[in-house]
Structure 1
Amino acid sequence: MKRWNIYFCLVTSMLLVIAGCSGKKEQEPERNTEEVESLKPIEGIWNGSIEVPGQPLPIILSFDGMGGTISIPVQGLQDYKLTSVTVDESKVFFDMNLQGQHITFDGNVAQDRMTGTFTQQGQSFPFELTKGSAEEVVETGEVVQVEVENGSLDGLLEMPEGTEPFPLMVIIAGSGPTDHDGNSLALPGKNNSLKMLAEELAAEGVATIRYDKRGVGVNATLAGKEEDLRFRHFIDDAAALVKYAKKDPRFSTVGIIGHSEGSLLGMVAARQSDADTFISIAGAGQPIDQVLLTQLQAQVPENVRKEATAILEALKRGEKVKTVSAELQGLFRLSVQPYMMSWLAFDPVEEVKKLQIPVLLVNGDRDIQVPVEEAARLHEAKQDAELLIVNRMNHILKESPEDREANMATYSNPDLPLAKGLIEGIIGFLEVGKE
């Protein structure tokens, strides 16, 4: 089963194993310093993940002579102190108490690699860490902030050079813990697809605002409790940024670019915020239940597919499912089901029909996650929309070989340029060119 395929098309930024985390630190646990012997073999920063089925959970550990801390970026948990840390030759053990739950990590360390078993509430998953330095992220652009439910949402404004006003596009990232640059914390390396999109549009005279969705990056703490999250929160956040930009005299028009899951969010947000234009890139043309079942078809046994089908049918009826198999816990555990119900209420075909503004539908012919048939479905529903199929473009907007493995390798290569024809097509649609 190729887990990463399932992961990409799901909003899993809050569907994580350590439920209930937040950016707020709890009272620091007292330490028994006698238990902290020589930690020199592990002192430093360790990066890696807990291998939760279908959705690896990135973590960062920092150890010094007195103990250690853990950070979980996608849940806004930062430098939370571990209760105890012990090292005995190649054996390593550390644990933490979080909101009444005792969580343990039991493993082995060999030079710069640490592997073992993570355990929480009777569930166990492997973890793997590599010793290294925390990556420093340098951002350029103007930080913008809008008030949304649960707090303030930060975005990054990329401005062109030249004379104002400029057209502006709000860029909505895809599913999971995908940040404003198009990079996912659940995958190794970076592709910087959305960062490159913003930079190249700026070079062509188009301003952009891109942002970490609630539950991700700088906006991690906006997620709140998992059971309280709804699809409308993401819609409202995007709409708030559009409304913010429409009040700024530096911008002549304000539209939305929605990538992958961001396409559906953008369709609804565009209408809600009275946006001037809408661009869908690699957006699904089917409701999420059909997308999930299509993905599961080739990846899990028949009994699991049948269970997933039954769960989705129940959720569509507004009924929670209390018993879910271990294979599907990542998708359908009880605390996630209210969110899934709210997502199932939206059909991309019906939403795109409602748009009364210029629409561009973009897809790559080498997208192994959202095939061109999805764009065709949307175009059939809204035939006055422009349709752009970019030759050789895959899901992360890069040119890709036909080979599946080589296609996947592009997801962690930031040096690859955007596919030829993408920017040209967008600029043509927006009728903006170099003077």
Structure 2
Amino acid sequence: MKSKSLLVLLALLVALPVSAQNFIGSWSGQISFRGTSLRIVFNISKNTEGKTVCTMDSPNQSVKGIPASIEFASSDSISIRIPNIGIEYNGKIQGDMIYGTYSQAGVKLELNLKNEELVYLRPQNPQPPYPYTTEEIEFVNEDENATLSGTITYPVNYQKGKKIPVIVMVTGSGPQNRDNEIYEHKPFLVIADYLAGNGYATLRYDDRCVGKSTGKYQAETTKEVAKDAALAVKYLRETKQFSKIGLLGHSEGGSVVFMLAAEK
């Protein structure tokens, strides 16, 4: 009898990874609350170790990749939780749909998900070949043991040796790549492309520990972000290629621009 119970227990233990196979994919739907609609996406996939993992996106809030856990999965049902923000989703699969309930902070809302991968159309993102020259560069923050990697974009029809104005781009809050990329939209690349067509060079760079940059971003303060931006200005000044150096910032980057301007 004990051996039979053990076999049943083992069968239950292996049921989750096997059943979770039915839910592999990107599941997208909308919740409606007080006249507002919010798109929710659960991404269920296998990691490099073969384990089933799940993340949640909220495209309307520009939030992507929130870690979630699959609490239960059978051949037709799934339960997903994100304990740190109090989210729970329970649903049943029928064809390419999951019909279920989204719960958060005591509020329960209908959320029906369709298995479809969202494709973000970004026609404004410039596509190569570009009508201008770019250069990959690096500068170093020795105090933080960080190397910042970036791209200088030169104006259209730029002639080497001619001094031109350049603008340093400073990203917003949180670790960002040089394009300040959000859901495949690349605002800094778009701006660099526009400025290149209007006679300006630009420097945009990856934040610490993002893209090709090294160092640690943990708990990086606005003052530290400003120091990296100041080092970018110093790097450009030392090249002696540019007539004027300006700064352009987004979100926290705007505060950094004012901080640096006040110091000069």
1:34-433 mapped onto 2 (5 Å cutoff): 34-46=15-27, 61-64=43-46, 67-70=51-54, 86-89=73-76, 91-94=77-80, 105-108=88-91, 111=96, 131-132=116-117, 141-148=134-141, 149=144, 151-160=146-155, 161-165=157-161, 166-175=164-173, 180-181=178-179, 184=182, 190=185, 192-213=186-207, 222-224=216-218, 228-270=219-261, 351=262, 355=264
> In 2, distance between residues paired with 1:220 and 1:84?
36
Matched-pair contact (CA < 8 Å) for 2:173–2:253: yes
Matched-pair contact (CA < 8 Å) for 1:146–1:152: yes
> In 2, distance between residues paired with 1:47 and 1:39?
17
Code of the aligned partner of 2:53: T
Q: 5+ unaligned residues in a row in structure 2: which ranges?
A: 1-12, 31-37, 129-133
Richer in helix (by share):
1
> In terms of mean alpha carbon deviation, does 131-140 or 196-205 score higher?
131-140
Q: Partner of 2:199: helix, strand, or coil?
A: coil
- Alignment partner, residue 389 of structure 1: none
> In 2, distance between residues paired with 1:125 and 1:246?
57
Q: How far did residue 235 of structure 1 move?
A: 0.7
Richer in strand (by share):
2
Matched-pair contact (CA < 8 Å) for 2:171–2:178: yes
- Alignment partner, residue 8 of structure 2: none
TM-score scaled by length of structure 2? 0.57
Code of the aligned partner of 1:197: I
| C-alpha RMSD of the superposition | 5.2
Matched-pair contact (CA < 8 Å) for 2:91–2:100: yes
Q: Partner of 1:269: helix, strand, or coil?
A: helix
Matched-pair contact (CA < 8 Å) for 1:215–1:221: yes
Q: Partner of 1:38: helix, strand, or coil?
A: helix
Q: Partner of 1:223: helix, strand, or coil?
A: coil
Q: How far did residue 232 of structure 1 move?
A: 0.8
Matched-pair contact (CA < 8 Å) for 1:157–1:208: yes
Code of the aligned partner of 1:170: V
> What is the percentage of aligned positions where both structures have the same residue?
20
> In 2, distance between residues paired with 1:164 and 1:76?
41
Q: How far did residue 129 of structure 1 move?
A: 7.3
Q: How far did residue 266 of structure 1 move?
A: 1.3
Q: How far did residue 230 of structure 1 move?
A: 1.9
